[in-house]
Homo-oligomer: A and B are copies of this chain.
Amino acid sequence: MKRELAVLGRLIRRGTLELRLPDGAQHLFGSGPPHARWTFTRRDSLRRIIANPELALGESYMRGEWDTPPGELATLLAVLMRNAGELAHDGGRLRRLLGGLLQQWNRVQASYRNVAHHYDLDEWLFRLFLDREMYYSCAYFAVPQLSLEAAQRAKAEHIAAKLRLQPGQRVLDIGCGWGSLALHLAQHHDVHVTGLTLSRAQLAVAQRTAQERGLSGRVQFLLQDYREHADQYDRIVSVGMFEHVGRPYYARFFRQVAASLRPRGVALVHTICRLGPPGTTNAWVRRYIFPGGYSPALSELTAGIEHSALKVMDMELLRRHYALTLNAWQARFQRHRAEVAERMGEQFCRMWEFYLAAAEASFETDDMAVAQVQLAAEADAVPLTRDYLYAPLAQPRTLRRAG
């Protein structure tokens, strides 16, 4: 145990880590806020975590070998990640040892079939912790106090403003999920939207909701890969789908968007990105949550764009917004935890809460952000300045600060 304590002693330089071992021994590392508390029920667990943090941290939590006080899991993970991040500029043996903590913990959005193993449970599970419209991506907290519902509506309106929608336009939504954004745009901006998804269950929910709201004439949902879809649109939007494209296909993705865009068209890609250099997705996340997901570094994202006819018109980095979103999802999940434990088991619950907390911590520590990239082939497809995104009367933004 001495060696493990020495490693933590060297690691923790920002914030405080309060460690409690099964024999009642307490150790304090670092100082100042944030204050994280880490209580072990198995003596050998810390050794295995330090030997292989990437997998063992999540797996030992799933097995109940350690815990934090309620609501403090993300704080603990943020302290570990932030201090591991400091090592990046020091290098050395400790970095090699704990490098796993720096990998991408953030694969949040996903083709949902990867998430749970029972298709029929999915909608139920997601309805428990997402907002009413089931946006499964980063919300836009125009002010931090917004409710999750209001922040997701604000996101939809922020995207609508960036798309410069005009009534009657044809819009393609690549990776439409349960149809939340497509339905919002059709209803509030009077456009015709085609949503593409690869999930039959999402398709069914989206089509049912369109019918319930009398929007079937203005939205259509298709079970189709974007590479198979050959039509022309005034506007193209893709939210939380680029993370599934895969590095070797970035240029192809943007060329496909360029080819599907009419002259003077505008596209908006909303994706998690890494603010540091290119990395790899954390092994625990790959194994338990999202096989095949990858969040690009900005240099990878822009290189993909540069090999298409599209040009970057604007790039907003939403920092912390996803931490706020994940925090709200975690709170909702915790309110329904007993229900989930009964249906899915305790281990599933611990897996899910670890996933939400690890993702929250990775956005809290500034390594990750969401990039909203506005694209067009012609520079005058969007205005000369960005004032139009913030003009109080420019868009039907009454929704924005509501809720």
Contact = CB atoms under 8 A, between A and B. Distances in A.
A22 interface: no
Contacts of A116: none
A380 B389 CA distance: 22
Interface stretch (A38-46, A233-241, A308-316, A346-354): A308-316
B298 A384 contact: no
A89 to B, nearest CB: 6
A144 interface: yes
B384 A390 contact: no
A397 B246 CA distance: 44
A157 to B, nearest CB: 12
Contact of A142 (B275, B315, B385): B385
A390 B389 CA distance: 9
Interface in A281-331: 297-300, 302-303, 305-307, 309, 311-317, 319-321
Interface residues of A, number: 42
Given A277-B306, A297-B302, A311-B275, A316 B378 contact: no
Given A306-B277, A366-B379, A390-B387, A314 B317 contact: yes
A316 B366 contact: no
Nearest to A279: B306
A75 to B, nearest CB: 16
Given A315-B315, A317-B312, A302 B298 contact: yes
A168 interface: no
Contacts of A366: 311, 378-379
Given A298-B312, A299-B299, A319-B380, 16 more contacts: A142-B385, A143-B384, A276-B311, A278-B306, A297-B306, A299-B300, A302-B302, A313-B319, A315-B315, A315-B316, A316-B386, A320-B380, A320-B384, A366-B378, A386-B390, A390-B391
The 4 nearest A-B residue pairs measured at CB: A390-B390, A319-B379, A299-B303, A298-B302
